[in-house]
Amino acid sequence: MTRKDNYIILIIFTLLHVEVNGQVDYGVGDPFAIGIASPDASNLVLDTLLTKNDTIYHTFKIKNIGNGNLKLTKVHSSLGSSVIDYTADSIPSGDTGIVKVAVFYYNKYGPFTRVIEFNCDGKFKFYQLIIKGYIKEE
């Protein structure tokens, strides 16, 4: 091995050692002061049947069960549903925020599944809320 090869190997081991031992600061801060989102229901089956001109509203409650604040970001829904409102401010530890959704007819009869997704700045970054139901013909 040449001196250059030894130098490159030394750099790689140094970088790996720093990464493995957690010496890299990602700006997270106190690992115990992180918000954790806990939806009241992540999979909801509607017992109400939709028809062609119906819209059903549902409000998901998102509780922060972590020790730090929690902020919901990038809240969006699939085709045939729409996010009406959500808690945009930080949710303190122990408090509850909301994600209000409207589900409506979208060009197809029969069973449906709508997906609402949101990111947050807490421990688990990505969540999916699923609404299932049935659209009947008039």
Domain coordinates of the chain in residue numbers? 37-135
Q: For position 1, what pLDDT does the model report?
A: 66
Q: What is the pLDDT of residue 47?
A: 74
Decide yes or no: CATH 3.40.50.2300 for domain 37-135. no
Give the pLDDT score at 27.
Answer: 47
According to the model, what pLDDT value does residue 135 have? 80
Q: How far apart are CA 62 and CA 85, in angstroms?
A: 13
pLDDT at 100: 92
Quote the pLDDT of residue 54. Answer: 82
pTM score, whole prediction: 0.69
Query: Which residues, given as ranges, of the chain have pLDDT below 50?
Result: 18-28
Quote the pLDDT of residue 69.
86
- CA separation, residue 16 to residues 9, 24, 52, 107, 136 (Å): 11, 10, 59, 54, 59
